[in-house]
Structure 1
Amino acid sequence: MRRRIGIDVGGTNTDAVLLEEDVVAAGVKTPTTPDVTTGITRALAALVAQAPAARDAQAAMIGTTHFTNAVVQRRDLGRVAAVRIGLPSGASLPPFVDWPEDLAELVRAEVVMLEGGHEFDGRPLVPFDAKGMREAARRIRAAGIRSVAVAAVFSPLNASGEEEAAAILREECPEVAVTLSHRLGRIGLLERENAALLNACLIELARKTTRAFTLALRASGIAAPLYLTQNDGTVMLAEVAEEYPVYSFASGPTNSMRGAAFLGKRDEALVIDVGGTTTDIGSLRHGFPREANNVVEIGGVRTLFRMPDLLSLGLGGGTRVATAPALTIGPASVGYRLTEQALVFGGDVLTVTDVAVAAGLIDLGDRKRVASLPGKLVAEALARIRAMIEEGVDRMKTDAGDAPLIAVGGGSFLVPARLAGVSEVLNVPHQAVANAVGAAIAQVSGEVDQIFQDLTRDEAIARARRAAEDKAVAAGADRATLDVVEVEDLPLAYLPGNSLRTRVRVVGEIAR
């Protein structure tokens, strides 16, 4: 029997589930701890106590916002040398040019600009400056810099410049971690370079974190290989995640949406995930979150990651409710301290959970502690919550008709049964741990974004599909299970040779 463990680390709770084939055999929810790994260890201990078969799982998947939080909160970041290969064409806007100044000061160790790079069709701009790269590598070694990000003009089409730079860096300073931009981003130099720089500053933290996750698994008696979930709802092996932590930036909300699709047996629907701190609303297409097609900012840095198109609201079970001078809900939250600070648990902070208990939406804690809340206040707070949800749903819809809405998350009791613009609200089994279910069912993906010339549309898509399938298999997918989930093609009329930019993404099950 195929068994998989899914774990999702949220700002308030850490959830864990055991899947046996396609059935949720057990699920637990425990408070997140400040050091993250303690919370995972406790969740796994509770899961094994409930279902001893978890020790025999063939794979364990963890979703975490640990790396996003590090960038947003400006903590645990390494210093990075930025190498850009593109002179004379790429000199106007140097690396870090559009970063928030406080973050740039933390991360920027050295900036190196070299001749090289390619045209849109892969032809060299100018020869690569290998001598300049070797001199820069020696300076990097002498300065004690431990991480380097390399970005070249149009490297997704021809990566030879970046690969040559990496080879020189490995020769001159073998201890340095090297991030190559063509392995991370799509076409678009600044955003791709930013992705590489963010990745490079997170590598040391990623190595510590994934090793701590592995230790937590082993301490729980689980020998399964560890995977981390990615922004697009698929997974990567822990050893890959150590080198590419930026792939996990938005894995938490993505897991919830994938879990909602699985539990609700719907591939096309809206999803609302109400957690302890925030509410995320998104849209499912073919069972995967609709991707954002605009520039995504992480901690103030522009990127072009594969990120879900989500609307986040400051509404959750731990959200604070202020009554003076007027009733306001959020965005501040007590987070994982809900069981200490909420009124129903003996605290002194009025939260959305207290309002829900007073209204009879959920039986939690000591209801007598909120019996004195005025009925008018409770009704007004619930009306405000309904309005927030309805406005959020309306903003995420792409057409005027009503759409089904799947409600998941530990705070899903806040979602009314009837909402404007919604055909039906689906409350699914195990909805409180849907995020962990989404992690457990995650597949492996491969993606190609490339410009083709002198090919028909069908030929370009077929070639991109083959390349995407090869990438997925290399990442651990079973070729027989691969399926195309996204195809985009854009004729580039301003370029010669019948140029066509084609993007194909495929997903498949983990190879056994």
Structure 2
Amino acid sequence: MIVGIDVGGTNTDVAFLSENQVKTFKFPNEYGVENILDRISREVDIKRSRLIISTSVPLNALTSEFDRIKVLSLVFPGPGLDYSRYGIVLRGYVNHRGIYVEEIDEDEIVKALESGEYDALAISSKFSIRNPVIEHKVSEVARRFIDGDRIALSHHVGLINFPLRINTTILNAKIAEKVKKLTESVKEIKEEFFYYKGDGGIIPWQIALRNPLELYNSSPAAVAYGAYFLTGIKDALVIDIGGTTTDFVLLKEGAPEVEEKVEINGMRTHVRCVRSLSLPYGGDSLYSGSLMPYRDGKSVAFGGDAPTLTDLLNALGAEIGSFQRSREKVGREEAEREVEKYVNSVAEVVRNYPAKTIIGTGYLAQHLVPRIAEAAGKRYTIPEHYGSANAVGVAVSRISLTLYARFDTERRLAIFNGEVDQEQFESISGHPDDEELVELAIERAKELALKYGANERDLADIDVMYFNSFNIVKGGIKRGKIVDVIVQIKPGLCCDVL
């Protein structure tokens, strides 16, 4: 049994998958993840199931609490480099080969930690992905001043560009404690589970705690893969009409496009997530003379006080919730006017996409997608389980790990995700060619995935995302080479559901 959960802006969707049989459920977010998991446990043996969670916690925290959560950023760029715009610059340096050449100054670090009020801490050393010793040492000092759950280390980001890695680490620090609390609450019911990433893959919770921005904006990926699984249509525009937003994701050859180096609140980062577009209107969008780009509680049909887009649809003949209450609040003529405006605004966006077919998802899809498709001149389909396609996408996706490897054959070093691997010393002695070292990185990524429960058949599709190699020559003699390689097990549908 596979259990997929997607925590959206308004509702939490749940999908059960067993031998390609799908069951879906929807809960209001007020229930909370712990209560929802408790309810699920009455339906299935959750301890023996694979549990995957897509959560809006990172997105919500960075949207609504960005300025409230103050982060102290400590930066160790090395001598002669001015990184003061990124935080407090301190002594301590690991060079480009991962050699610890300048000690940290503990008194200087303590002074920085005592310098002001902050809620979280980001520690970034320039070449920490080749040797994280400085970040570990500083973290030990910092734990005397701040809880470890609120400390983020840059080598866990695992990518080279230092300014982007600092930014990512600062944002990780802002959300680390929230993701840790959610993780602990889930672990009370199931010890081992997975989180869903923004690029459409799944990772074990242990990796998510080290780099929680991996989870950023995961719902568009979930709904895209859910729509593909439910319809089998490889090329289409997915329109997901949720409670808070209307989202657009383009499918090409059965996969959404992934965006690199995503900008969050004006900060360029190392975040990868599915490319999507959102309009700030959904089923719970307030109607107050016109449709507003925000929520103000529940729809009247579900016990709220002010009408919403859902209530407008009820006024036009839909029967959602307590539809009679909606009709007491809103007249048919004004409802038709506002729904038409919404349909036209969505259709205008749809016309900009090359797809000929729309896949409608979200709980209002059956009421709105036919009108949108007609206005945009597109074909459409609305699959079974359309209201919880996001949770289905979470359930059907496979483990997708990213591995940064650095090989220094002269020093006989293999470093994986910032940590030196003693066992690989013998494997890289001599003068291996580039292909051998790339294969070592790929094999290590596979080993990690299998350790966390991946099916071996899901590991056939691995991308080399970055590669750089240069020879070390001393006295006219080649002494070795240094190779940097980043590999990723590609996101996609897991073999268990194909």
Deviates more, 1:273-282 or 1:164-173: 164-173
Counterpart secondary structure, 1:444: coil
CA contact (8 A) 1:28 1:43 kept: no
The match for 1:53 is 44
| Counterparts of 2:134 and 2:325, CA distance in 1 | 69
* Letter in structure 2 aligned against 1:243: R
The match for 1:114 is 91
1:388 is displaced (CA, Å) by 2.0
CA contact (8 A) 1:446 1:470 kept: no
CA contact (8 A) 2:315 2:326 kept: no
| Counterparts of 1:250 and 1:235, CA distance in 2 | 13
The match for 1:254 is 221
1:305 is displaced (CA, Å) by 0.2
2:27 is aligned, of 10, 27, 30, to 30
1:353 is aligned, of 304, 307, 310, to 310
* Letter in structure 1 aligned against 2:195: L
1:412 is aligned, of 358, 365, 370, to 365
* Letter in structure 1 aligned against 2:53: I
Q: What residue ranges of structure 2 are gaps of 5+ in the alignment?
A: 409-430, 470-477
| TM-score, normalised by the number of residues in structure 2 | 0.77
* Letter in structure 1 aligned against 2:282: G
Task: Decide whether aligned partners of structure 1 residues 472 and 287 sit closer, same or farther in structure 2, where only a CA change above 3 A counts.
Answer: farther
| Counterparts of 1:84 and 1:316, CA distance in 2 | 42
1:63 is displaced (CA, Å) by 1.6
| Residue pairs, 1:326-365, within 5 angstroms | 328-335=290-297, 337-338=298-299, 342=300, 344-345=301-302, 347-365=304-322
1:506 is aligned, of 475, 480, 489, to 489
| Residue pairs, 1:292-303, within 5 angstroms | 292-297=259-264, 299-303=265-269
CA contact (8 A) 2:3 2:50 kept: yes
CA contact (8 A) 2:240 2:248 kept: yes
| Counterparts of 1:185 and 1:123, CA distance in 2 | 14
* Letter in structure 1 aligned against 2:291: I
CA contact (8 A) 1:6 1:60 kept: yes
- 1:242-266 superposed Cα distances (whole Å, 9 cap, x missing partner): 3332222212332222222221223
The match for 2:179 is 206
- 1:203-244 superposed Cα distances (whole Å, 9 cap, x missing partner): 3332222112333xx3xxxx5633222222222333443333
| Counterparts of 1:358 and 1:293, CA distance in 2 | 43
CA contact (8 A) 2:307 2:326 kept: no
Task: Decide whether aligned partners of structure 1 residues 450 and 290 sit closer, same or farther in structure 2, where only a CA change above 3 A counts.
Answer: farther
Counterpart secondary structure, 1:360: coil
| Counterparts of 1:20 and 1:183, CA distance in 2 | 35
| Counterparts of 2:161 and 2:349, CA distance in 1 | 31
CA contact (8 A) 2:95 2:101 kept: no
Task: Decide whether aligned partners of structure 1 residues 422 and 485 sit closer, same or farther in structure 2, where only a CA change above 3 A counts.
Answer: farther
1:311 is displaced (CA, Å) by 0.6
2:211 is aligned, of 238, 244, 256, to 244
Between the two proteins, the alignment pairs up a number of residues equal to 458
* Letter in structure 2 aligned against 1:113: L
CA contact (8 A) 1:170 1:176 kept: no
CA contact (8 A) 2:152 2:176 kept: no
The match for 1:278 is 245
The match for 1:150 is 123
Task: Decide whether aligned partners of structure 1 residues 310 and 190 sit closer, same or farther in structure 2, where only a CA change above 3 A counts.
Answer: same
Deviates more, 1:372-381 or 1:171-180: 171-180
| Counterparts of 2:280 and 2:46, CA distance in 1 | 37
The match for 1:14 is 12
The match for 1:104 is none
The match for 1:87 is 78
1:43 is aligned, of 26, 36, 47, to 36
CA contact (8 A) 2:172 2:213 kept: yes
2:101 is the alignment partner of 1:128:
yes
Percent identical pairs in the alignment equals 25
1:11 is displaced (CA, Å) by 2.0
2:282 is the alignment partner of 1:289:
no
CA contact (8 A) 2:285 2:292 kept: yes
| TM-score, normalised by the number of residues in structure 1 | 0.75
1:424 is displaced (CA, Å) by 2.3
| Counterparts of 1:94 and 1:470, CA distance in 2 | 39
- 1:290-316 superposed Cα distances (whole Å, 9 cap, x missing partner): 11135321x443322012211111111
| Counterparts of 1:360 and 1:113, CA distance in 2 | 65
1:392 is aligned, of 314, 335, 349, to 349
1:386 is displaced (CA, Å) by 1.8
* Letter in structure 2 aligned against 1:353: T
Counterpart secondary structure, 1:445: coil
Counterpart secondary structure, 2:272: coil
- 1:83-129 superposed Cα distances (whole Å, 9 cap, x missing partner): 32223353144325xxxxxxxxxxxxxx342353545xx587xx632
| Counterparts of 1:422 and 1:475, CA distance in 2 | 46
1:415 is displaced (CA, Å) by 1.7
CA contact (8 A) 1:90 1:153 kept: no
CA contact (8 A) 2:158 2:404 kept: no
Task: Decide whether aligned partners of structure 1 residues 502 and 118 sit closer, same or farther in structure 2, where only a CA change above 3 A counts.
Answer: same
* Letter in structure 1 aligned against 2:209: E
- 1:470-505 superposed Cα distances (whole Å, 9 cap, x missing partner): 55345543344213265556999xxxx999997542
The match for 2:166 is 193
| Residue pairs, 1:474-489, within 5 angstroms | 475-484=452-461, 486=463, 488=465
CA contact (8 A) 1:83 1:114 kept: no
Superposed CA RMSD: 4.0
Task: Decide whether aligned partners of structure 1 residues 249 and 295 sit closer, same or farther in structure 2, where only a CA change above 3 A counts.
Answer: closer
Task: Decide whether aligned partners of structure 1 residues 466 and 23 sit closer, same or farther in structure 2, where only a CA change above 3 A counts.
Answer: same
Deviates more, 1:40-49 or 1:313-322: 40-49
- 1:164-199 superposed Cα distances (whole Å, 9 cap, x missing partner): 441464488587455332321533222211111222
1:447 is aligned, of 386, 391, 402, to 402
| Counterparts of 2:71 and 2:304, CA distance in 1 | 44
The match for 2:59 is 68
Task: Decide whether aligned partners of structure 1 residues 56 and 153 sit closer, same or farther in structure 2, where only a CA change above 3 A counts.
Answer: closer
| Counterparts of 1:65 and 1:21, CA distance in 2 | 28
The match for 1:100 is none
